[in-house]
Amino acid sequence: MPTAPIPVPQPWTARPATLPWVWLAGRSAMLIALYYAVGLWGFVFTPDAHGIPLVWPATGVGLAFVYLYGYRLIPAVGFASALVAWQFTGDMVPLLETLGTVTATMAGVALGAYALHRLGFSPRLERLRDVGLLLSVGALTGSGLAATAGAWGIAVGMDELSFTDTWWLCWMADLMGLALVAPVLMTWLGAPLARPTDRAYLKGFLLIASLISVTAVVYSGFLPAGVAMPLSYAAFPLVMLAALRCPVQVTTTLMLAGGGIALSGTGWGLGPFAELGLDTSLLSLNAQLALLVLTGLVLTALRGEREAAETRARRHLDQLARAGRLSTLGELSAGLAHELNQPLCALASYAQASKRLLERGRMDELREALSQLDAGAHRAAETVRQMRAFAAGQAPERRTIRPDALVRPVLDLLRPDFRSRHLRLELKVEPHLPAVTVAPVQIEQVLVNLLRNAIEALEGRRDGRVELGLQREADHLQIHIRDNGPGIPPYRLAGLFDPFSTWKENGLGLGLSISRSLVEAHGGCLTVRNMPEGGAEFRFTLPLEHSDART
């Protein structure tokens, strides 16, 4: 047994070597019951007189349970395999061959689980690598050994069957059963269940109901083969939709439901594949089901890899954004120090005055001085709070906020810079703007970057003016920052948002690039232009919350 923990979330990373006996007995009973049930299902729908089923999901059940819950369940696999063999093939296969089949099944399951552990397989099936590992390891170990032992036992017990033909049929039945059953057990028992919304529940239920209905009609025997055959491919778009829009558990359940109905109908002699003969129908049906399973699993894995890449990109953007906030905070340090110095000096003055008033017993004036002392302390604390909030490194959470409340902390943060440079800031807010759902700290960072650029563009001007405007444009909030500075050199406009594009002496060229990425991550767009009357205008949009309502 490998020393590495099973790569699945808690509680399914339970310690296989130290399972409590009650827990182990419960899991063993569950495995045996499920193994026997799918074995019964496989033999009931066996059109072949020699007992070769169309599908054999039992190996997939054993592999999934041993992988998820540990090697101490291998005896339960052996017991279940022996029980099924005694129940259904005891009078056809000699005892020695039956024992060989049971041993090979246990060995295949153990080797398969070991290989999956060592190769870093994840039961979430969110990577193409995991899909390939499950199918290849299952084909080479679990299905390969079980099919070899099963074919040997059947061929030895029945002289009219060749080992090669029997092995091929057994291997296809084992692999198809594993491909249908193992993903369902892996994803439902081994992967964390997402907390879906009511809409997601409804979507999954409708997809499952639709697939069951369509597949049941196809394999009911009521439709002519010319109609049933093309209609059997209607399962593909349903599985593809689930793979792209629903949790992976819905996709694997759809594949099992569709495959189970198709195999059951064919075993009963119904459906478009039943009239083709055993060999042809088995090959044709398994080929279609294999294509269905591969389509669902591959699309699910591609979606998982895309979402993982998006998560990494968002994390990287958050890290860059925090670095930008810290850099901006350093640039604002002089103004912030001045902003803090005023209330601190006032606090010292009021404290000295309070001491003198207390000595003279002038209580009314002392009360007023203490009130001023308290107000100054709150002003200093608020300045520090704004600095800490702006530099915070926590993962930004989106929340619904009114536009005027969104810009207020930015104005408080930058007011010392405007005051020290004698610049005028004009705020124009359209009344009754709907709320927006954003990560406030990220949009505040965009505003700080753009307003800082405007301040720097007006350096040395006594008539400098910056306008911050918020207005509604269709279903978006439009925010613009205009200044009456020299504008942006035309030859720099095209690459202005490129990383490391700057003409400032000490600039890194990341502020505008980060700002554009943050706006686009919110579903908006950031643009720039030079104004006809002079100066530059940066404009960006954000989707409005409940854009059809004016509040």
**Selection from 73-87, 88-102, 270-284 with the highest mean pLDDT:** 73-87
pLDDT at residue 237 greater than cutoff 50: yes
**Is the pTM higher than 0.85?**
no
- Average pLDDT value for residue range 140-169: 71
**Do residues 243 and 303 lie in contact, with contact meaning Cβ atoms separated by under 8 Å?**
yes
For residues 95 and 103, give the distance between their C-alpha atoms in angstroms, rounded to a whole number. 12
For residues 241 and 33, give the distance between their C-alpha atoms in angstroms, rounded to a whole number. 33
Residue-wise pLDDT tens digits, 392-430: 555 567 889 999 999 998 887 788 788 888 899 999 999
- The DSSP annotation for 202-255 comes to HHHHHHHHHHHHHHHHHTSS-S-HHHHHHHGGGHHHHHHHHHHHS-HHHHHHHH
Q: Kindly indicate the confidence band of residue 41, based on its pLDDT and cuts at 50, 70 and 90.
A: confident
- Average pLDDT value for residue range 66-72: 94
- What does the radius of gyration of the chain's CA atoms come to, in whole angstroms? 35
What pLDDT does residue 93 have? 59
Report domain extents, the chain: 1-192, 399-551
The CB-based long-range contact list for 325-333 (8 Å cut-off, 24+ gap) reads: 325/390, 325/391, 325/441, 325/445, 325/448, 326/391, 327/508, 327/511, 328/390, 328/445, 328/448, 328/449, 328/452, 328/511, 329/387, 329/390, 329/391, 331/452, 332/413, 332/414, 332/416, 332/417, 332/452
Q: Which residue has the higher pLDDT, 313 or 207?
A: 207
Q: What is the DSSP letter of 274?
A: G
| Range with lowest mean pLDDT among 34-43, 407-416, 481-490, 520-529 | 407-416
**Dihedral, CA of residue 399, residue 511, residue 514 and residue 539, to nearest 10:** 70
Q: Which residue has the higher pLDDT, 270 or 233?
A: 233
- Average pLDDT value for residue range 125-149: 88
Mean pLDDT value across the chain:
81
- Average pLDDT value for residue range 177-181: 94
Instruction: Pinpoint the alpha helices (H) of 361-439.
Output: 363-391, 403-420
**Selection from 340-349, 375-384, 516-525 with the highest mean pLDDT:** 516-525
| Continuous segment of H or E residues that includes residue 467 | strand 465-473
Residues, the chain, total? 551
What pLDDT does residue 330 have? 64
First to last CA, the chain: 63
What pLDDT does residue 324 have? 66
Q: Kindly indicate the confidence band of residue 4, based on its pLDDT and cuts at 50, 70 and 90.
A: very low
What pLDDT does residue 301 have? 95
Q: Which residue has the higher pLDDT, 411 or 381?
A: 411
What does the buried/exposed string (b/e) look like for 281-314 if buried means 16 or more CB atoms within 10 Å of the residue's CB? bbbbbbebbbebbebbbebbbbbbeeeeeeeeee
pLDDT at residue 230 greater than cutoff 70: yes
What six digits make up the tokens of 467? 């306008």
In percent, the amount of the chain with pLDDT more than 70 equals 76
For residues 309 and 435, give the distance between their C-alpha atoms in angstroms, rounded to a whole number. 30
For residues 416 and 420, give the distance between their C-alpha atoms in angstroms, rounded to a whole number. 6
What pLDDT does residue 297 have? 97
Residue-wise pLDDT tens digits, 298-310: 999 999 999 888 8
Q: Which residue has the higher pLDDT, 83 or 92?
A: 83
For residues 386 and 72, give the distance between their C-alpha atoms in angstroms, rounded to a whole number. 57
- Name which of 402, 406, 407 is nearest 426 in CA terms: 407
Its sign, for the CA torsion 319, 321, 324, 330, is negative
What pLDDT does residue 377 have? 75
- Average pLDDT value for residue range 177-192: 90
Residue-wise pLDDT tens digits, 325-377: 666 666 556 555 655 665 676 667 667 777 777 788 788 777 776 777 776 67
Strand order in the sheet with 476-483: 424-429, 465-473, 476-483, 536-543, 526-530
What pLDDT does residue 3 have? 39
| Range with lowest mean pLDDT among 208-222, 332-346, 435-449, 508-522 | 332-346
What pLDDT does residue 149 have? 72
Burial class, 499, CB count within 10 angstroms (exposed 0-12 / middle 13-18 / buried 19+) = middle
CATH class of the domain defined by 399-551: alpha beta
Q: Under CATH, which architecture does the 1-192 domain have? A: Orthogonal Bundle (1.10)
